[in-house]
Amino acid sequence: MPALRFMLNGEWRSEERASPTMSVLDYLRTVARLTGTKEGCAEGDCGACTIAVACPDKDQHAYQAVNSCLMMVGQLDGLSVMTVEGLARGDGGLHPVQQALVDTDATQCGFCTPGFVMSMFAFHQAGERITETAVHEALAGNLCRCTGYRPIIEACRRLAGLPPFVQPLAKEDAERLAVSPDEPVGFTAPRSLGALASALAARPQAWLLGGGTDLGLLVSKERQSPTDVISTARVPELKNIAVTADALELGGAVTYSAALPHLDDLFPAFGALVRRIGSRQIRNLGTIAGNLATASPIGDTLPCLIALEARVVLRRTTGARHMSVEDFITGYRKTALAPGEFIETICIPRLAGRQRFFAYKLSKRFDQDISAVIAAFRIAISGGKVASLRAVYGGVAPTPARAKALEMVLTGHPWNSEALAAIDAALARDLSPIGDHRASASYRLDAAANLVRRLHADSSGDEPSVRLEAL
Amino acid sequence: MGRPEPRVDGRLKVTGNARYASDFPVANPAHACLVTSAIAKGRIVSFDLDDARAVPGVLDILTHETVGNEVHEPKFFGSGGTASTIHRPLSSAQISHAGQIVAIVVADTYEAAREAAYRVRVTYEEEDAATTLDSDGVETLPATKVRKEHKNPRVGDAAAALRAAPVTIDAVYETPTQHHNAIELYATTCVWSGEQLTVYEPSQFVHALKHAMAEQLGIDAEDVRVISPYVGGAFGSKAAVTPRTALVAIAARRLNRPVKLVATRAQGFTIATYRAETRHRVRLGAQRDGKLTAYVHEGWEATSRLDDYLVGGTETTAHIYDVPNVSTRVNVVRTDRATPGFMRSPPEVPYVFALETALDELAEALDMDPIELRRINDTRNDPITGAPYTSRSLMACYDEASRAFGWRRRNLPPGSMRDGDWLVGWGCATAVYPTFMGAATARVRLARNGATRVEIAAHDLGTGAYTAIAQTAAERLGLPVAAVEVLLGDSALPAAPVAGGSNTTASCCNVVAKACDGIRRRLVRAAMRADRGPLRGRKPSSVNFVDRHIAGEDGAKVSLADAFDMLGAPMIEEYAHWLPHGMEPDALKKLHLGSAALTGGAMEDRIAAAFGAELVELRVNVYTGELRVPRIVGAFAAGRIVNPRTAHSQYVGGMIWGIASALHEQTELDRRVARYVNTDLAEYLIPVNADVPDVQAILVSEEDRLVNPLGIKGLGELANVGTAAALGNALYHATGRRIRKLPLRIEDVL
Ligand code: FES
Ligand code: FES
């Protein structure tokens, strides 16, 4: 009988009984009988189910917080998993993270607490510097309905200077975890590009799983049940990140978290936007290619990729083809992916010459909000004139909308307040937003125009382009 | 008491060892999944269950065809019962609201149950549904008609006073549908052992749930036990008994196997209760000096066709300010929706929003500082009855809050404060919550070594009841808090009231103190009678319990252990019951039957309420209209504070609730299909940590010798009242635009 192998709270576990497509949350609560991990939504929205996982591949020995409700048991193979039950010290003492939460009186009902404990544990393990922003970001994926967060944030601040408590994986455990397992039925995690292509060619109907943050939702929201899953997570080639002279190249299994430092470096506004996508738990699991492949209308990254003229390499057993991201998205949740094909690389050209990149997100709630309106601009200004502009909006149409009329009326013209007079009419031609419960159509149109005014204010000076934090 | 003790359950919660309902291990459970109605009104024509039954592991599928009359009609709590609705689940083909339970699927695993639930096909015959206040086909009725006990507070001649008033306000306000969205989902596990049923379900009233199950299933109440030691947030949603519990019990009985249900987040929007949308017309009349002369308030509240739920918040608002002429009226609007229910400060949140916004409009019309207007109309007596407040510190709250906030630097004219791209507004409003209490019973046992156990079927929803009760017993018995073990949330314990109306601390601490006093009396008597005892012959009133001793004023003392030896017993157990002022003795009998009767607020001879003042800063982006709230200060007075730490936590959490309720929270209804659209936590926006501003909660000291022996007022539902008005008022101050409908939306500002 094929078995999954992983470590759970420091102990080896070999799992034969559980279905590999069962959610890790269900597995922990019903099979492993570890009920400290809570279910608050089963949709990746609340963080009550947060656990920490470490993957021995490459040098990622640190624990990352993930939503156990969005993961399938098959994805645990080869990981070291930590739950709230695994933290307390052998002598019965609390882990520093737990102690901090007790000391700041950060629990009311306590239902969210194990999730916060695990997010903070991963945060603390990673040895990140404790800043206001880092704390907010680390906790953005955890909701608390009772405390109003203040004491939890305070507990997180108190971690500053405390040494990590659980050591990274022992070398021999890491090596053992890295060994390829017997593949469980119904869930395949190929270990090479070729193997992935063949698996997909043989089973073109299988679900192609990146991090699972989108597909996991199909189970809960769209009422689909996976019977056959192929995961990209263990294909080393797909985890590559290359920074070349011309471009940033991201493999098809690169997570948001892995891409983030590079985005921060090359396209800071893109990085700032990604920090506001989902939560850290989601970014640790979710891949940029996965977001692209589901072509979700509210996929926050799509407008940025299109504005930056990103391209994709699509591969299958018979070869590869290239196309722009703009062409790749063919409709509402539709893409140019053919059966048996997967995204091998996303290639984002560096900014050239005077090009600068700006991105804006308007939402009611600061984090983790499905955006009402999102705008991405790549603009070059030369001699007071707009030399070039690519403007792309999200949240205003079923697919990301390129604002070509806007680009046309602004390009070649002086970048001044007269230019701004024309934008409302141009955008009215470009965009036909619909009204829904998130925002009315006319609000979206007004906001779209106001973001151009904001762009004007931000791009007229010389300072770089991150204005997101001010929102 | 009064010390900022850390929570006694903190450690259990951070280690994942606190057991919530769905965490209890039961032997070999089957898992249930609900199927809910796709239509809002009509009937089920047929089921196609073949596909669902074909899923491996499916054990049973219950529909109205199988359950039929098995559930006896529940009694609606609004008519003295315990249920959230009189609806009998799975009793007929009739559909009365979207998301009504139409089937329950039970399988060996949750995955199989869910898969099968997806495959249940239902054919409906749909009728037009009237879903909200303005829909065609709703039925509007005065509250006095649907609820005999309902009274619309009134005094003087408001109509004449309005006509005569030199300054008047007349405006309409609206508040939206909202859902509690506690992080814990609605879960129920039922286990039968012969005739006996054990229910694990998060509950704000275990005794009510016990009796409800007995009634609905036609079994003996003594055969039912409800266990709910930890509740993952409730906010009113787990107070009345909802239809799911009986179904899970029936499913478990049919299979003769424990059945476990955890409803999905989306199902939680329709299988339990919610805060209904309301509309208000408020008219105020005042003299030019700001003195109010007339207050007229008419409210409309959505309810269902089956049950007339109503909050009738004028019962609170009519008593707040010194107005000689008051006239109020409340109406229910029957719609094709599920029955609404309690949600944190049910009457106050909508009605106080309306009144406190109207007052701001009046201050604007008078060109007067809004705090000054409230000062002019402050009172020591109930304006309706003339009865005195047991204590009231509203203006002290305003004084402390405005000092901390720096209110003096506020510019009066709207739109006059700006910081870069942001328009800045400062607003204020009053928070108020009537003080409620209920009859309660408790058992306390003290052992010779000081180990104490308190047993009371009260509930800790995260509010800190475990800690407050432990502190009370510790103080009365002169022990450290760690010596006291508190057992709550189990219907096998002595009955305590519903965890509603913020009564728990007042009711439970008073009864526990009374039980402790019984223990004290027995020990003191023994110590005073003991030959050669150091306290021999003292008066009982001259000794106290401190530091594991009975101590006289002069320093003479007897250790607890010695007192026990003098008594000749290894331990003492005392059972006590407590009746709040003005409550009929039969309240105890009713309590044992699960009745939720409380007393308090505006009583015949007195009125009891906690007050607060909330001051906020709101910023509006000139480009995008985005709203941000950088800071909020609230000052609150609620009698004696048992634990300043947990009180502070409630106030801060409450103000964040208030902010969310003003800026984010609205359950949106797609009127065409009469269904909610944002039924998950990605789209029903509760705040995330980055939304949370600088929050300051100030505890204003207040002594109340009348309200109850310990002088405690409830405070859990105080701080989220008034916040929305303060924010709306700040928005007006920032922009000069008055938004009278919640939530305050970006687009209303742009
Ligand atoms: S249960 Fe809510 S994020 Fe997983
Ligand atoms: S303490 Fe209740 S949800 Fe956080």
For B155-174, what is each residue's pLDDT tens digit? 999 999 999 999 999 999 99
Quick: pLDDT tens for A11-62: 989 888 888 888 999 999 999 999 999 999 999 999 999 999 987 765 555 8
Instruction: Tell me whether residue B356 is one of the annotated catalytic residues.
Output: no
**Which residues belong to CATH 3.90.1170.50 in chain B?**
10-129+179-271
DSSP output for A43-96: SSSS-TTEEEEE--STT--S-EEEEGGG-BGGGGTT-EEE-GGGTS-TTSPPPH
Nearest CA in chain A to B467: A108
Q: What is the percent of chain B with per-residue pLDDT over 90, rounded to a whole number?
A: 91
Ligand 1 atom with the smallest distance to the CA of A42 is: 1
Q: What is the pLDDT of residue A219?
A: 61
Q: What is the pLDDT of residue A470?
A: 32
Q: Residue B454 in 3-state DSSP?
A: strand
- Of B315, B364, B702, B717, which one is the catalytic site residue? B717
DSSP output for A382-423: ETTEEEEEEEEEESSSSS-EE-HHHHHHHTTSB-SHHHHHTH
Residues of chain A with C-beta less than 8 angstroms from the C-beta of B626: 362, 471
- Of the candidate ranges B537-541, B612-616, B713-717, the one whose mean pLDDT is the lowest: B537-541
Q: Which two tokens stand for residue B183?
A: 């992080």
Give me the mean pLDDT over the B712-721 stretch. 97
Q: What is the pLDDT of residue B559?
A: 95
Q: How many whole angstroms separate alpha carbon A113 and alpha carbon A98?
A: 9
Residue B276 or A435, more confident: B276
> B7 in contact with A at a CB cutoff of 8 Å?
yes
Q: How many whole angstroms separate alpha carbon B187 and alpha carbon B231?
A: 11
Q: How many whole angstroms separate alpha carbon B232 and alpha carbon A111?
A: 5
ipTM of the complex in this document: 0.96
Nearest ligand by distance to the CA of A28: 1
Give me the mean pLDDT over the B486-498 stretch. 97
Tell me which of A45, A73, A105 to substitute to probe the interface with B (most B C-beta atoms closer than 10 Å): A105
CATH topology of domain B439-594: Aldehyde Oxidoreductase; domain 4 (3.30.365)
CB contact under 8 A, B233 and A85: no
Cα separation of the two ends of chain B: 50
Q: Which two tokens stand for residue B302?
A: 């959505």
Distance from CA of A454 to the nearest CA of B (A): 7
Q: What is the pLDDT of residue A469?
A: 34
pLDDT confidence bin for A463, thresholds 50/70/90: very low
Q: What is the pTM of this model?
A: 0.93
CB contact under 8 A, A108 and B183: no
Quick: pLDDT tens for B67-102: 999 999 999 998 889 999 999 999 999 999 999 999
Cα separation of the two ends of chain A: 54
* Closest to A109 measured CA to CA, from B465, B471, B496: B465
> What angle is formed at CA B150 by the lines to CA B147 and CA B152, rounded to 5 degrees?
135
Is A40 near ligand 1, meaning CB less than 6 Å away? yes
DSSP output for B249-279: HHHHHHHTS-EEEE--HHHHTTSS--BPPEE
Contacts for A92 with CB less than 8 Å, ≥ 6 apart: none
pLDDT at A466 over 60: no
Q: How many whole angstroms separate alpha carbon B244 and alpha carbon B204?
A: 16
pLDDT confidence bin for B52, thresholds 50/70/90: very high
The per-residue pLDDT of chain B, averaged, comes to 96
Helix (H) or strand (E) holding A459: helix A441-460
DSSP output for A285-331: H-BHHHHHHHT-TT-THHHHHHHTT-EEEEEETTEEEEEEHHHHEEE
Q: For residue B15, count other CB atoms closer than 10 A to its CB.
A: 21
Q: What is the pLDDT of residue A189?
A: 86
The per-residue pLDDT of chain A, averaged, comes to 86
pLDDT at A111 over 90: yes
- Which architecture, in CATH terms, is B140-178+274-435+603-749? 2-Layer Sandwich (3.30)
Q: What is the pLDDT of residue A395?
A: 79
Domains, chain A, with CATH or none = 1-180 (3.10.20.30), 236-349 (3.30.465.10), 355-458 (3.30.390.50)
Residues of chain A with C-beta less than 8 angstroms from the C-beta of B747: 439-440, 442-443, 446
List the 264-323 stretch of B: residues with Cβ below 8 A of A: 264-265
CB contact under 8 A, A369 and B652: no
**Which residues belong to CATH 3.30.365.10 in chain B?**
140-178+274-435+603-749, 439-594
Ligand 2 atom with the smallest distance to the CA of A110 is: 1
Nearest residue, CB atoms, A110 vs list B18, B655, B683: B18
CB contact under 8 A, B689 and A149: yes
Instruction: Write the single-letter amino acid at A337.
Output: L
Contacts for B611 with CB less than 8 Å, ≥ 6 apart: B392, B393, B394, B397, B430, B431, B432, B636, B637, B718
Quick: pLDDT tens for A183-240: 666 788 888 999 999 999 998 888 888 877 766 666 656 666 677 889 898 898 999 9
CA-CA-CA-CA torsion for B314, B318, B324, B327, nearest 10 degrees? 0
Nearest ligand by distance to the CA of A149: 2
> B11 in contact with A at a CB cutoff of 8 Å?
yes
Contacts for B687 with CB less than 8 Å, ≥ 6 apart: A148, A149, A365, B656, B659, B660, B664
Is A39 near ligand 1, meaning CB less than 6 Å away? yes
CATH topology of domain B10-129+179-271: Aldehyde Oxidoreductase; domain 3 (3.90.1170)
pLDDT at A299 over 80: no
Residues of chain B with C-beta less than 8 angstroms from the C-beta of A84: 14-16
The dihedral built from the CA positions of residue A334, A338, A340 and A341, taken in this order, carries a sign that is negative
Distance from CA of A322 to the nearest CA of B (A): 34
List the 659-688 stretch of B: residues with Cβ below 8 A of A: 663-664, 668, 670, 677-678, 680-683, 685-688
Q: How many whole angstroms separate alpha carbon A392 and alpha carbon A302?
A: 9
- Of the candidate ranges A81-90, A210-219, B216-225, B426-435, the one whose mean pLDDT is the lowest: A210-219
Q: For residue B426, count other CB atoms closer than 10 A to its CB.
A: 23
Q: Which residue's alpha carbon is at the smallest distance from atom 3 of ligand 2?
A: A144
Give me the mean pLDDT over the B520-524 stretch. 96
Query: Rounded to the nearest whole angstrom, what is the distance from the C-alpha of residue B444 to the centroid of ligand 2?
Result: 29
State yes or no: cis peptide before B743, omega within 30 of 0.
yes
Estimate the crossing angle of helix A150-157 against helix A113-125, to 10 degrees: 30
